[in-house]
Each structure stands twice: as structure tokens, then as C-alpha cells.
Amino acid sequence: MKSRISEKFRTLFGHDGEFFASAGRINLIGEHTDYNGGYVFPGAVDKGIIAEIEPNGSEKVCVYALDLDECVEFGFEEENIPQQSWARYVFGVCREIIKRGGKIGGFNAVFAGDVPIGAGMSSSAALESTFAFALDCLFNLGIDKFELARIGQSTEHNYCGVKCGIMDQFASIFGKKGHLIRLDCKTMEYKYYPFNPEGYRLVLLDSAVKHELASSAYNRRRESCERAAAAIRKNHPEVEFLRDAGKEWLDEVKDVISEEDYRRAEYVIEEVQRVLDVCDALERGDYETVGEKMYETHHGMSRLYEVSCEELDYLNDIAKECGVTGSRVMGGGFGGCTINLVKDGLYDGFISKAKAAFKEKFGHEPKVYDVVISDGARKLE
Ligand code: GLA
């Protein structure tokens, strides 16, 4: 990928720039908890974005997306927002840096990536993080890593219409080879956990159903949670996020909020606890408990939070039938993939069964990605 980028960069701009990369992410457990101030447990993966970039001394940006064979130019004013959705991520990152007082100039860039789009592995965070990290470095801005992640998140909010939490951008900036990161999204405290489940493999099965994260469904989930938290806050002013409440406090407002908001909040409160349970289990090397919690999450995401779909429920059922230790829909949902914790000895049988059964029912095989936990945003030498 790097050599293809380099070749194109030379053809377009006549010389060489500097290389930066960032990663997509998985999340072992803790879904839709980030914007509720709860815990998440992601890690960066070995699939990401690589960009070659060079300041060009002008006030214009010229970015070429190699995979799409598309070039976009824009200036830094709000009204210069590009049409192409991929370019909005780059534009948004520039705007968010400028809003924070960062002084950047124009630049040329060529980028390419291998994070499957729409699989729920956050290709958009990889793109944002690559550019945020690179611009910080190239223009000596001295932005701290949390702020780099927030720049990506604000890009989603303000230029892409998704009111996402901080998990994806955090994972893609802070990712570390061989480690998952437990993040408390309220305090932003985090801890690296070595992740090397001996005797098990972590594998993603991509339903190839396109998730519509940007679609209002994701934002509506968030609004439900905020309404529930606001209702609880009337009785318990210390509740800033749903994460601060327990089931009992939610039950106090059961008749005040809608039945739907109640279910959404119930899922979130349970999910926050599951992350802590999984971290404890991991420290004991108790993968059976990790797996059980993953199945519980799937059930909650499917029945209470309603972000699963027929294809993902089916993949989850097959995992159960094959004796897979843990399986659940990963990421925002509405399509994308399941993440599966499977014993070495069961791996081959599970994959071939899942492929065949899924194809039989939906007409195509799911894609299979073995998870390799890798580094996040970085400069490449
Ligand atoms: C998307 C969002 C994240 C998070 C997950 C669900 O990936 O970008 O902030 O909310 O969905 O856990």
C-alpha cells in the first residue's frame, strides 16, 4: 500500500512527503456506552489508513483518495466544505484544528486504506486520526492525544452528522500492539490490558450488510439515553450520564419515560457493568465468562437496544450452535459484523459452517477477518 501511495504522490506532486498511519478498531465489549459516560474496551487493528502528506505553502488542501481514484481540493473556510463524504472527514479535521487555535497551512496528500467500509471497524475514525495526528506533527501544533481524538469526534458531529461517542477515535489514536484498552468515557482514565487469549482466536464475521451509522437511528438511540438520564437526574441530581445510575434509579422513572427509552437505558446500564465484569474475568484468564458476557451483550443489543438485524442475529445463532465461546454484534450495529471468541479447535468448523449456512440463507458468504491487535496513530519511517 505504501509503495502505491508513494508512486502516486510523486506523479501528482513531483517529490516525496512524510508517511502517517492510523488504525480501525475492534471492541471486545462495551457498546453504545461511550456517549453515556460508561466504559468501553477497544483495541486498534492491523487494518487502517496510510497517508503521505506534505505542506504545500499555500492555503489550499489537495487530497487524493487512491482507492477511489478521486482528487478533492478545498480551502479552510467553513463554506469550502467538499461534496464527497470521504473528503468531509479531512476537511472536518482541518476545521476542528483551526477552531481550537491550531495554525495549519495547505498541504498535499495521497491516502489509501484497508479497513473494510461499513463493517463497523471504524474506517472513518482511522481516516480522521491519521490526518489529525499528521497535521499536529507536520505543523508542530503540540496537541495532546485526547484532543486529537476529540478533533476526530467533533468532525463526526459537525461535518458528518453522527453524534458519536469517543471510543473509535480514542482507540485509533491510543491503540497499542497486543493490548486492549479499557476507557472510562466519563473521566477519560484508561488502562492497557495485554490481550493474548491462549487457546482462543478472535475473529470477525462481516455480514456485508451496510450499516447506516450516519442515519438518524444512531442519533435517536443517543437521544433516548439522554431523555432517560434527564428523568433520573430529577430525583438524583448527581446523575450526569446514564452510567451514573443503577437499575433501581431507572425503575423509579419507569412510568415517566417511554417504554422504548426505558429499554434503551436498561441495556446501557447493564452493558456498563458487563465491561467491568469482562475486565475482571480477563485478569483471571476466565474466557468462559468473557464469552458469556459477549452473548449477553448481543441479546441486549438485539432485543433492548435494537441495533442488530436478521443477518447478525443469524450469525450469532450459528456461533452458539457451534459452541463458540462468545459472539455478538460489534460497533454501532445496523449491519456490520459480529466479533467471535472461539477456541482454536473449533475455529475451522465454525468458519465453514457460518459461511455455508449464511450463504444458503442470504445468498452470499460473510467475510472473515482474523483480529490482530496493533498500534494506533503513528508516523511511519
Ligand atoms: C460507533 C460510534 C462509537 C460508539 C459505537 C457503539 O462506532 O462511533 O462512538 O458509540 O458506535 O459502541
pLDDT tens sequence across 183-241: 999 999 999 999 989 999 999 999 998 766 546 899 999 999 999 999 999 999 999 99
Assess whether pLDDT exceeds 70 at residue 168. yes
Assess whether pLDDT exceeds 60 at residue 121. yes
Assess whether pLDDT exceeds 50 at residue 178. yes
Ligand 1 environment, Cβ below 6 A: 31-32, 34-35, 122, 164-165, 167-168, 331-332
What's the whole-number mean pLDDT along residues 167-177?
A: 98
Q: pTM (2 decimals)?
A: 0.96
Assess whether pLDDT exceeds 70 at residue 291. yes
pLDDT tens, 312-351? 999 999 999 999 999 999 999 989 999 999 999 999 999 9
**Cα(311)–Cα(308) distance, rounded to whole angstroms?**
8
261 is catalytic: no
Please give the pLDDT value at position 74: 98
Please give the pLDDT value at position 169: 98
- 9 phi/psi in degrees, rounded to 5: -60, -45
Please give the pLDDT value at position 211: 61
Distance of CA 331 from the midpoint of ligand 1 (Å): 6
Distance of CA 12 from the midpoint of ligand 1 (Å): 36
- Name the catalytic one among 114, 136, 144, 168: 168
Q: For residue 38, what are the contacts with CB-CB under 8 A and spacing of at least 6?
A: 30, 184, 185, 186, 241, 242, 243, 268, 271, 272, 275
Distance of CA 263 from the midpoint of ligand 1 (Å): 18
